[in-house]
């Protein structure tokens, strides 16, 4: 089977400065899309856009998912740059450096910050881009959840809860937006070798490798194909679904 085509699709990817988001941006460009990368990491995001520009039409916009005004500015800037929107990938989230604490040890401020960005921020990004997606009448939203919410990873309650919320939001949004021609799906990657997971202890990495049906590390390129498919015309009649992409660590 040939590569998925996103020829001339207009796609916004939050959290696109590094890690999975960068991999999604690179794959979308290779598939023919025009891409806006959005991230709070301004210098790195600009550099990523410059690096990927050899592959196609890509630009960078700064965004802070904890700031509703910043999200509205992103939507306006992306509309001006792309002229419309065919696909939105919600990849941005707080994940780095927050694990390792029990439910009793998590600080309230940290809990609130994770929920503000990972849950409220995802909702507000969707809300801001809905007018453009409705105009397309064939829009695609892909939310990046996590398989931690499927197996109940310990010492990570705030992140696990936030990604569980993203999964539930995906299903509710699918029902709300289906008659607007908008598909809403989520993926649940496993522990992937990216910058955001460098802090994860070696024993958790071993737990994943040994527990997978495919006993190896997971890399960004293991995840990109699922997202490209869900953004493509091949997924026009798929909505409200959660696709685990984790080598068989958990089954849906």
Residue pLDDT, tens place only, 100-146: 999 999 999 999 999 999 999 999 999 999 999 999 999 999 999 99
10-245: which CATH topology?
Answer: Rossmann fold (3.40.50)
Q: Are 114 and 162 in contact (CB under 8 A)?
A: yes
Is 159 a residue of the active site? yes
122: which 2 tokens?
């995802």
Query: Is 81 in a helix, a strand, or coil?
Result: helix
Centre a 10 Å sphere on the Cβ of residue 216 and count the other Cβ atoms it contains: 10
In this prediction, residue 201 carries a pLDDT of 83
Query: Structure tokens of 126?
Result: 């969707």
Residue 135: CB atoms within 10 A of its CB come to: 13
d(CA 16, CA 26): 9
Quick check: 20 and 144 in contact, CB under 8 A?
A: yes
3-state secondary structure of 200: coil
Query: How much is the pLDDT for 250?
Result: 95
Work out the average pLDDT over 79-89.
98
* CB 110 within 8 Å of CB 33: no
Summarised one tens digit per residue, pLDDT across range 31-46 is 999 999 999 999 999 9
Chain Cα centroid distance, residue 34: 17
- Contact at 8 Å (CB) between 86 and 10? yes
Please state, rounded to an integer, the average pLDDT across all residues of the chain.
96
> Which band of pLDDT confidence, cut at 50, 70 and 90, is reported for residue 97?
confident
Of these residues, 159, 199, 208, 229, which one is catalytic? 159
How many other β-carbons are positioned within 10 Å of the β-carbon of residue 54? 8
Token match 């005004």: residue?
69
- What's the rounded Cα separation, in Å, for the pair 166 and 12? 18
**Residue 2: its pLDDT value, please?**
54
């Amino acid at each position: 089977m040939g590569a998925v085509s996103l020829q001339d699709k207009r796609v916004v990817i939050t959290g696109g400065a590094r890690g999975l988001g960068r991999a999604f941006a690179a794959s979308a460009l290779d598939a023919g899309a025009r891409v806006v990368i959005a991230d709070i990491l301004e210098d790195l995001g600009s550099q990523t856009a410059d690096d990927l520009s050899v592959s196609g039409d890509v630009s960078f916009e700064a965004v802070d998912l904890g700031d509703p005004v910043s999200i509205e500015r992103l939507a306006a800037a992306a509309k001006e740059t792309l002229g419309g929107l065919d696909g939105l990938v919600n990849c941005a989230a707080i994940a780095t450096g927050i694990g390792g604490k029990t439910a009793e040890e998590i600080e309230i401020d940290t809990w609130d910050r994770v929920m503000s960005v990972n849950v409220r921020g995802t909702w507000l990004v969707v809300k801001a881009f809905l007018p453009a997606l409705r105009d397309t009448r064939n829009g695609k939203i892909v939310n990046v959840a996590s398989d931690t919410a499927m197996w109940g990873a310990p010492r990570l309650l705030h992140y696990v809860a936030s990604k569980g919320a993203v999964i539930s939001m995906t299903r509710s949004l699918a029902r709300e937006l289906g008659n607007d021609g908008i598909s809403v799906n989520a993926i649940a990657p496993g522990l992937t070798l990216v910058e955001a997971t460098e802090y994860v202890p070696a024993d958790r990495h071993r737990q994943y490798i040994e527990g997978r049906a495919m006993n190896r590390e997971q890399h960004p390129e293991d995840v990109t194909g699922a997202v490209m498919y869900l953004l493509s015309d091949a997924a026009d009649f798929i909505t409200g679904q959660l696709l685990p992409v984790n080598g068989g660590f958990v089954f849906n």
